[in-house]
Chain A
Amino acid sequence: MSSANPLRDASDRRLPRIAGPSGLVIFGVTGDLSRKKLMPAVYDLANRGLLPPGFSLVGFARRDWADEDFAQVVHDSVKEHARTPFREEVWQQLSEGMRFVPGDFGDDQAFEKLRATVDELDKARGTGGNFAFYLSVPPKFFPSVVQQLKKHGLSDPPEGSWRRAVIEKPFGHDLASAQELNRVVHQVFRSAEVFRIDHYLGKETVQNILALRFANTMFEPLWNRSYVDHVQITMAEDIGIGGRAGYYDGIGAARDVIQNHLLQLLALTAMEEPSCFEATSLVQEKLKVLQAVRLPGDLGGHTVRGQYAHGWQGGEEVLGYLEEEGIDAKSRTDTYAAIKLGIDNRRWAGVPFYLRAGKRLGRRVTEIAVVFQRAPHSPFDNTATEELGQNALVIRVQPDEGVTIRFGSKVPGTSMEIRDVTMDFAYGESFTESSPEAYERLILDVLLGDANLFPRPQEVEESWRILDPIEEYWDRHGKPEQYTAGTWGPKAADEMLARDGRSWRRP
């Protein structure tokens, strides 16, 4: 965005950040993610007036479609999944810039056609040579796609424009593969032009962690080992692996979500204040805290993995993991993982961070619970505080985004009796704006070139450094414990906390 534009003024806060002239090319456009998230997000952005006039969307997939067929698919997915109401004139503006390129990733002709399409859009729609390539494909295809982009001159921006690559998790399955992936992508795209999507970072509640901690005075003084007893970060899903057997088996919960989402949440919860709210300062602080993460000495006693077993969940009978179609009956993949981590710095020494993630758990919920120590001395007698738990601050990431504070309060009546109550802030109720979907924010940021909400390669590699020893230990020792679907995980996980004299929150 040019500062020379006389119509732009920092104090004019009604004018939104609109992306400059640009287009988005989606590989794997027929996939679920693309239909349920990416296309609706593009429409919602257009509907909110945040896309530039002439914005173009190019689909690339192995389908025998014409541009119109593609537009119809986008139309259907937008109608079904978009957050904002469907408006004909917005659709008209958007549909004029839709193109489809059929072909394989190995097909030189298809990439020549893609190149011609990009050139045609520059002329017909004024996209100015600026294109983002969204690789919504399994990572094994990354090398061939980026090499094809390079070979056909699509990755080299014409003078004064940009070409960016957007990639989705998984970013490898261990440190070595992550480094290899980074090498492959960075051969073709400059490091600053590669955007790794961790859609959790696009969520309003996650961005709000930083606002909550660093824009207020009342939380930060308590945010350390003097007051915090421990932190629990939970990401529970009620679904099983569905049709993703091929992807999930051999990966497991720890690699699938702890490595990226949960460690990012940990970094945001535990990091020091960045010197400013810019990508480089944020990365610096996040890296510092990830580098300070310490694994437990006894990996057997402080990590737990599980596999969901046949059971009833929310009124439905569901299959166990080993009974799912396409899963080897002897599979040792973890569908539940819980680990205890420490952070070796002055702020957090001695405060355990418990991370857990799993499928087929009680309900779908992601939250960060900061649990405080008990008051060092209480003037009330034991019976009065019998029902008083530990104070807690809970950041509800999804669903029902918000913040809950839990503290003790006197029960009305003649006797002194103190019980836990909660104070609640709900995102949905407190703002005049409804929260945009994570993908809306992230796609807009890619087009604007704003890297604040994207994990950088060092962070990804650092996270693997934390997880690799655990995965190696699991490979060599035992197998996952079975837990009944619809419960809150294996018994060993409860025992793991019980050994520390603590218990999991029921989220």
Chain B
Amino acid sequence: MNIDLTETTSSKINSALIKARRSIGSPAVGMVLTLVIVTDEGNHYDALKAASDASREHPSRILVVIKRPGRSPRDRRSARLDAEVRVGGESGTGEIVLLRLHGELADHAESVVLPLLLPDAPVVVWWPEDAPANPAEDLLGQLAARRITDAAATEDPVAALGLRAATYAPGDTDLAWTRITPWRSVLAAALDQKQAAVKGAVVEGEAYNPSTELLGLWLARRLGVPVRRKVSDGPGITAVRLATADGEICLDRPTGSLAELAIPGQPDRHVALQRRATSDLIAEELRRLDPDEAYAAAVKFGVDRLAHAEETAEPAAAAAGTGQDGGSGKKAAAR
């Protein structure tokens, strides 16, 4: 059931939600979280689709905050809240509320969202693009236990990683990190099978693909070896090579779905490494709502510690820099 509300308030939206629930005959269900999606008119459709796909198996309340600050000074001075409540039918077992914040109200989204949060359930905020510089300080971000950004959706992904590192607070996470979970688990499994000291590593991937950088950072930090970043034609990450005394452990994915794992002294094997849809990524994010320490450690390691392919590698253990800014990271990806 859909209810359209114009020039409304949060409390009227709450009443509409209860009314809609009653009318489809299920006055109470155990919803597990509130997902707030902060987006604009142009992008909300895709984001909402991914979120509702991801939450198919569990009912959650999805609040889509669409900011419409207005173009003319007159529009910007006015303030109006329009809402669309969707319960049942296509929205599955959960509830969806589209909130359109006009004029001045666009700067006060938290005042609209706060009364609509589910009691006692965790809150997740997702910025599909245009994330604030400091998510944890953002007024909406402050409401949330989990803040999801996406470095890949920014103009300068590598600079974005630097910014995420500088402003990291527990609960932050980035979809660029989520995308590499399958790579990381295969690489960890490969080292389970081949217990050899790794001397150095190379990560290869498309330009403007922050996941490649993050994977490199993770390897550099965990292995304590120099890691080089090489630009390839993609799609996404194309290969990881770990140098050991016996030869190279190589995980190679030229086509974006089936990868080949080569370990010295062992037969080459195929590994399914599909590039995943946004809904899968969001589903993975919603699985765990505690701070992701592994992400924090990797992103804070600092993008400028990755050597570019042509440069001589600098041992990661020797690089002691801490403060990372966007500028130095930009270099690595731009070339």
Chain A: residues with CB nearer than 8 A to chain B? 1-2, 4-9, 11-16, 18, 20-21, 46-47, 49, 52-54, 87, 89-90, 92-93, 96, 123-126, 128, 424-426, 428-434
Q: Residue among B191, B257, B267, B272 with the most chain A CB within 10 A?
A: B272
B59 at interface by CB-CB < 8 Å: yes
Q: How far is the CA of A55 from the CA of B247 in the complex (A)?
A: 23
B181–A430 contact, CB under 8 A? no
Give the nearest-CB partner of B190 in chain A. Answer: A53
B57–A432 contact, CB under 8 A? yes
- Closest CB-CB distance, B58 to chain A, in whole Å? 5
8 contacts between A and B (CB under 8 A): A2-B192, A5-B195, A14-B184, A14-B288, A20-B193, A53-B269, A87-B272, A431-B57
B271–A429 contact, CB under 8 A? no
Q: How far is the CA of A232 from the CA of B39 in the complex (A)?
A: 52
Knowing that A429-B30, A430-B58 are A-B contacts, what are 17 other residue pairs whose CB atoms are under 8 Å apart, sorted by A's residue number?
A6-B224, A7-B222, A13-B294, A15-B184, A15-B185, A16-B185, A18-B189, A18-B192, A20-B189, A53-B190, A54-B266, A89-B272, A93-B270, A425-B30, A431-B58, A432-B55, A433-B283
B182 at interface by CB-CB < 8 Å: yes
Within 8 Å CB of A2, what residues of B?
Answer: 192, 195
Given contacts A52-B193, A432-B283, contact A89 B57 (CB under 8 A): no
B274–A89 contact, CB under 8 A? yes
Within 8 Å CB of B267, what residues of A?
Answer: 54, 123-126
Interface of A is mostly: loop
Q: Residue among B93, B193, B223, B258 with the most chain A CB within 10 A?
A: B193
Q: How far is the CA of A16 from the CA of B189 in the complex (A)?
A: 10
Q: How far is the CA of A426 from the CA of B26 in the complex (A)?
A: 14
Give the nearest-CB partner of B188 in chain A. Answer: A7
Q: How far is the CA of A286 from the CA of B29 in the complex (A)?
A: 35
Q: How far is the CA of A471 from the CA of B187 in the complex (A)?
A: 54
Interface of B is mostly: mixed
A5–B192 contact, CB under 8 A? yes
B138 at interface by CB-CB < 8 Å: no
- Closest CB-CB distance, B146 to chain A, in whole Å? 12
Interface readout for B239-271 with A: 1 if CB under 8 Å, 0 if not?
Answer: 000000000000000000110010100110111
The listed residue (A14, A49, A128, A434) touching B292 by CB distance below 8 A is A14
Chain B: residues with CB nearer than 8 A to chain A? 29-30, 32, 54-55, 57-59, 93, 181-182, 184-193, 195, 198, 219, 222-224, 257-258, 261, 263, 266-267, 269-274, 283-284, 286-288, 290, 292-294
B223–A14 contact, CB under 8 A? no
Give the nearest-CB partner of B184 in chain A. Answer: A15
- Closest CB-CB distance, A151 to chain B, in whole Å? 29
Give the nearest-CB partner of B288 in chain A. Answer: A13
Give the nearest-CB partner of B32 in chain A. Answer: A430
Within 8 Å CB of A14, what residues of B?
Answer: 181, 184-185, 284, 288, 292, 294
- Closest CB-CB distance, B31 to chain A, in whole Å? 9
Within 8 Å CB of B193, what residues of A?
Answer: 20-21, 52, 126, 128
- Closest CB-CB distance, B157 to chain A, in whole Å? 20
- Closest CB-CB distance, A95 to chain B, in whole Å? 10
